[in-house]
Copies of this chain bind each other. A is one copy, B any other.
């Protein structure tokens, strides 16, 4: 096992200071040009050397006819060329002294016998020169922390803490927007493609050592080095959580995955056992993969499985209770002391059962601080799950009716919302228990977005919150039971 990321063959792939770029041109409709334009959108600060046979300039960068002409040996070569010139290009890179590459081009092992033979040749060339490479048939890497994104889609949102190693390139380049909307971002994401030289295990090892990565997400269609996979995961999970989505277990998933990267899928039970024995938390869907990452990357260790639900609406409270029960969590009763403290500030109609249902807010500010503060002190509970309704239209209407001048309303709503965000967020600084929210509103509303930005996980629906809490508990239970 590596102890620092510098030891990993992926270090200069994910952190290159200079890149030779094969396949970008001034014709924007080429894949290489699109990828280079994503680099520009994110304003990568290293040096880019486009290699092009005829163009003098490519998208504003000085272009070179051959890699041999470069003034230095670049840290990384990115190859987005037609299949039949990839081997020759790798050879030229090797001769120049390049030792890291990403081969985006497809048409290799995934395309049949001829492609498999070509892939073999590519591997041999790389071995001859000691080149380590991602791919072929991959989308490479994105590392938003150094503004590196040579993938087709432009990056969105700030860098984050989720380290992804994926047997699908789509999930590296197509999830920026999804992660951003759900309160996350990539630390680094790696697309492994056909895994000819670097595989998903190497990526997992790299992310295990990466200080920006708080939680590792794996998208798995098939693992070839099973023993090494488990060994590596076992070395990581005692200090960093790993969540995995495996789609090869169902007949339909297996067929789809196999035609995609040529990976060998196996029976679901085998993978399930492999994950369980390595302390890897298994997700059943892509949303769940990232839901679990959000909880594991933001929440403290829970003391146990007892959850208090705070709501002002009966139905949303009941569905949350139901979801928690199904996820294996329990709803403890409040102690007399907590009930006494609550009674002083909640309406008479409120229920101090669990879910704690305020029915309405005597003072809406209390919902975001005094009430959850009391609930977090409850010694019979380990976690707090809060229902968020908070429609800004409702607050606006209230202000209108309380004769706030119309032109002042938007500003006042924002101020009030931001104060509630800070107030609720401050609870996470003073309490050591996991605090999470659920809502049926859009996560883009100011309050919810504000909380997500401060690292308070809010889920769209209680069942997603409940399953994320169960995953959190599963991870720490596994850690606690390590010898």
Q: Which residues of B sit under 8 angstroms from A318, Cβ to Cβ?
A: 168, 221, 247, 253, 256-257, 260
Q: How far is the CB of A435 from chain B (nearest CB, A)?
A: 19
Check: A16 CB closer than 8 A to any chain B CB: no
Let me know if A169 and B315 touch, CB within 8 A: yes
Stretch at the interface among A5-13, A334-342, A348-356, A447-455: A348-356
The listed residue (B355, B357, B391, B398) touching A177 by CB distance below 8 A is: B391
**Given known A-B contacts A250-B322, A250-B326, A285 and B461 have beta carbons under 8 A apart:** yes
Let me know if B397 and A154 touch, CB within 8 A: yes
For chain A, residues 317 to 341, give those with C-beta under 8 angstroms from any C-beta of chain B.
Answer: 317-326, 330-331
For chain A, residues 175 to 227, give those with C-beta under 8 angstroms from any C-beta of chain B.
Answer: 175, 177-178, 181, 219, 221
- Determine the distance from Cα of A318 to Cα of B171 in the docked complex, in whole angstroms: 11
Check: A166 CB closer than 8 A to any chain B CB: yes
- Determine the distance from Cα of A332 to Cα of B256 in the docked complex, in whole angstroms: 12
Q: Which residues of B sit under 8 angstroms from A287, Cβ to Cβ?
A: 460-461, 463
Let me know if B261 and A314 touch, CB within 8 A: yes
Let me know if B168 and A325 touch, CB within 8 A: no
Instruction: Please indicate which of the listed interface residues A166, A167, A171, A460 has the most CB atoms of chain B within 10 Å of its own CB.
Output: A171
Q: Which residues of B sit under 8 angstroms from A351, Cβ to Cβ?
A: 259-260
Check: A286 CB closer than 8 A to any chain B CB: yes
Instruction: Please indicate which of the listed interface residues A257, A309, A360 has the most CB atoms of chain B within 10 Å of its own CB.
Output: A257
Check: A413 CB closer than 8 A to any chain B CB: no
CB nearest neighbor in B for A333: B255
- Determine the distance from Cα of A337 to Cα of B179 in the docked complex, in whole angstroms: 40
Pairs across A and B, CB under 8 Å, 15 listed: A153-B391, A166-B315, A168-B315, A170-B315, A219-B315, A247-B321, A250-B326, A252-B322, A252-B324, A252-B325, A253-B318, A255-B331, A256-B321, A259-B357, A286-B440
Q: In the complex, given contacts A28-B402, A285-B462, what are 12 additional A-B residue pairs having Cβ atoms less than 8 angstroms apart? A: A28-B398, A106-B349, A153-B394, A154-B394, A168-B318, A175-B440, A247-B318, A250-B326, A251-B325, A252-B321, A255-B353, A284-B463
The 8 A-B pairs with the shortest beta carbon distances in the complex, nearest first, are A168-B315, A253-B322, A252-B325, A260-B314, A256-B321, A170-B313, A28-B401, A250-B325
